[in-house]
Amino acid sequence: MITYGHFIGGKRVDGKSGRFADVCQPMDGSMRGKVALASQAELTEAVINAKVAQPAWGATNPQRRARVLMRFLELAAKANGELADILAREHGKTVADAKGDIQRGIEVIEYCIGAPQMMKGEYTEGAGPGIDIYSMRQPLGVVAGITPFNFPAMIPLWKAGPAIAAGNAFILKPSERDPGVPLRLAELFIEAGLPPGIFNVVNGDKEAVDAIIDDPDIKAIGFVGSTPIAEYIYGRGCSNGKRVQCFGGAKNHMVIMPDADMDQAVDALIGAGYGSAGERCMAISVAVPVGQKTADELVKRLVPRVESLRIGPSTDAAADFGPVVTAAAAAKIREYVDIGVKEGAKLVVDGRSFTMQGYEKGFYVGGCLFDQVTPDMRIYKEEIFGPVLSVVRAKDYEEGLRLCNDHEYANGVAVFTRDGGAARDFASRVNVGMVGVNVPIPVPLAYYTFGGWKRSSFGDLNQHGPDAFRFYTKTKTVTSRWPSGIKDGASFVIPTMG
């Protein structure tokens, strides 16, 4: 049994609240350990450490900060297998998928090595008589990230990398379901030369979240999770005068045009819909075939593929996906499938009764496929977050586009077609934050920003890319004039440079 505490002031520390949560191993349902749930006092201790450490780190020139990140990359590469094993055992995703989780986080750290370029301001000489104007980017101070269970390496690194590179001190409140990887990442940062107090990990539940939101010394919060919690953190954080970015739920559509390469489309749907057991905010959960012939052909091809999905323990290198994160999550997914059946959707592949031989206590759900789903059904409206794909048939392109535009969530969307004009029109008119053209999971590379629209995102700046450095810095503009013998006298009108 492992006991997970916190990481404060450059070292692991035990929890002091006396409250703990269980950490399970989803592939066999066993108890892996327990994680301490922080009190407000423990969060305050982390903030104090961060506040003391931040000024010197913020005054460190950006290329020296970037060198720490470079050393972190070397250490993370050496620890890749260890990190992936911890991640797979605590989350449930396969080891191969866990390595992808880590790699996506690493790519953002690689981008953040360019901090010297991203922190540059602007300069105008001679903006007025003897007057120069320049701007500078400065760190906010102490900032925080609240991250979800489904990407325990990637999203903490998405948040921490730009924050640290920009000169801030960072406090991470990861999911209490899989705390092992964030704590190990903190140790690697210290080993890479990051000063103690710059990266802190505080494990906890709502008490820790509320303490982060209300602490006056935390200047910004980044969150990824469900939409109701995103709304709560955004509203309360903004009312406390903080800069806040919150990313919530999703219901990602994939429109399959009649001219699409059907083999490619089916492969894309299988991987994007069922990879990581559907526990991705960018998973495709709605297939929208255009026209009856397209729909019939798509479903005909999907059924045997879904039925033949290989489900296995996280350590099975041949498994397509593993268990979901908790027994409660598995029960909730099955309940949604029950609801879909009651609402009249056609369940063409039923994975509710799947059990894994030798792992009967694991949290497994087999792949499920619905046809004849309509927009008024709950299984269409709500995020299921499991290996469940719904087929919503559209009679034509405009109806398919309208389905994407009318949904309250607008995280990601894809269109599969051979028609460049149709693809260009779709990308222009669809009201969704991230668009894939013959790409099922359109997660941008680290040097572009990641973020949805509508009720998938709250705040005006996205994750990673240039937006991350804008989010974690404030701009100061200086207008200067040095004595030159010019005597202007007192002026009582607004200054101009004309």
- Whether residue 310 contacts residue 318, with contact meaning beta carbons closer than 8 Å, is answered with yes
- Residue 15: predicted pLDDT: 97
129-143: average pLDDT: 95
pLDDT for residue 369 is more than 80: yes
Domain ranges for the chain: 2-248, 252-437
Of all residues in the chain, the percent with pLDDT exceeding 70 is: 99
pLDDT tens, residue by residue, 187-230: 999 999 999 999 999 999 999 999 999 999 999 999 999 999 99
Would you say residue 498 has pLDDT above 80? no
Q: Which is catalytic among the residues 24, 246, 281, 404?
A: 281
Q: Is the pLDDT of residue 31 over 70?
A: yes
Q: What is the CATH code of the structural domain delimited by 2-248?
A: 3.40.605.10
Q: DSSP state, 203? A: -
Distance, CA of 207 to chain centre = 22
Instruction: Please indicate whether the domains covering 2-248 and 252-437 agree at the CATH topology level.
Output: no
- CA 471-251-276 angle, 5° bins: 85
In the predicted model, is pLDDT for residue 487 greater than 70?
no
Hey, what CATH class is 252-437 in?
alpha beta
Question: What do you get for the CA distance between the two ends of the chain, in Å?
Answer: 72
Contact 426, 405 (CB under 8 A): no
User: Residue 497: is its pLDDT beyond 70?
Assistant: no
- Is 24 annotated in the active site? no
Residue 496 pLDDT > 90: no
The predicted pLDDT at position 476 comes to 96
pLDDT band at 324 (very low <50, low <70, confident <90, very high): very high
Residue 129: the pLDDT is 87
Specify the pTM.
0.95
State mean pLDDT over 23-39.
97
The Cα-based distances of 14 to 181, 325, 425, 493 in angstroms read 17, 25, 56, 61
271: pLDDT strictly greater than 90: yes
> By three-state DSSP, how is residue 59 classified?
helix
pLDDT single digits (tens) 385-407? 999 999 999 999 999 999 999 99
